[in-house]
Amino acid sequence: MLVIAALPVLLGAAPVPLARTRSASVERVPVLLVHGFNGSGANWTALVQALEHAGWQADEIDAMNYDSTKSNKAIAQQIADEVAALKARTGASRVDVVSHSMGAISTRWYLEHLGGTASVAAWASLAGVNEGTVWAYGCYLLTPCKEMTPSSTVLDDLARHLDTSGATRYATWWSPCDEAVVPQSNAKLPGARNTETACLGHSAVKSDPTVLGQVVGWLGGAKT
């Protein structure tokens, strides 16, 4: 199947050492990291390292895992549980959410349909499937792949309910060389702060030092 050949693009890249920029004693807004299709929390090594060098403590960062065979709607419920647990553990009233690839769909479903905007201060999408990808037709028999196609009812529903004018801030990072989000501009989201990266592969978007610096700088400051 086409999806088997394309799976390597979902693997994480090696972490890049970054200089520490903030005191580790500062309590930051907790961050939930949501991986993409067939990925795992281990794919976020580079961003976790960047956050820790910028002052986030280990217990303020949650790189969750989920079953990629499930619908994004089911994954969204797990995200809701992860956010609740992260808030309870840190004492924060809101968190920031960073997603990669298909993680953009489940996190947006959480925001738009499960009341997530009340708990999320900032949402970031790295190489996100925000408006679908033709690549997903190659694994169309799988529910999450069907939901990633440009014509999916899930994406149509998200587009109808999208509201970027509220308290939650929205931002995307998209690459003109993304081999998994096709067309590449579909990684952008109307109303969000959309940033074009250098010519990066699908997985490299979440490990590129320039992108990481921009994402860390854009996320929230002191715990709320």
Question: At 173, is the secondary structure helix, strand, or coil?
Answer: strand
d(CA 214, CA 58): 20
Averaged pLDDT in 10-residue chunks for the chain of 224 residues: 39 40 64 98 98 96 97 98 98 97 98 98 98 96 97 96 96 98 98 98 98 94 55
Please report the pLDDT score of residue 21 as a whole number: 42
For residue 8, the model assigns a pLDDT of 39
Nearest-angstrom CA–CA distance, 165 and 130:
17
Amino acid 28: pLDDT: 86
What does the pLDDT read at residue 22? 41
Supply the pLDDT for residue 52.
96
pLDDT value of position 14: 41
DSSP 176: T
What local confidence, expressed as pLDDT, does residue 220 receive? 72
- Positive/negative CA dihedral, 19, 22, 26, 28: negative
Instruction: For residue 145, give Cα distances in angstroms to 36, 68, 101, 133.
Output: 11, 9, 12, 9
The model's pTM? 0.88
Structural fold of domain 27-218: Rossmann fold (3.40.50)
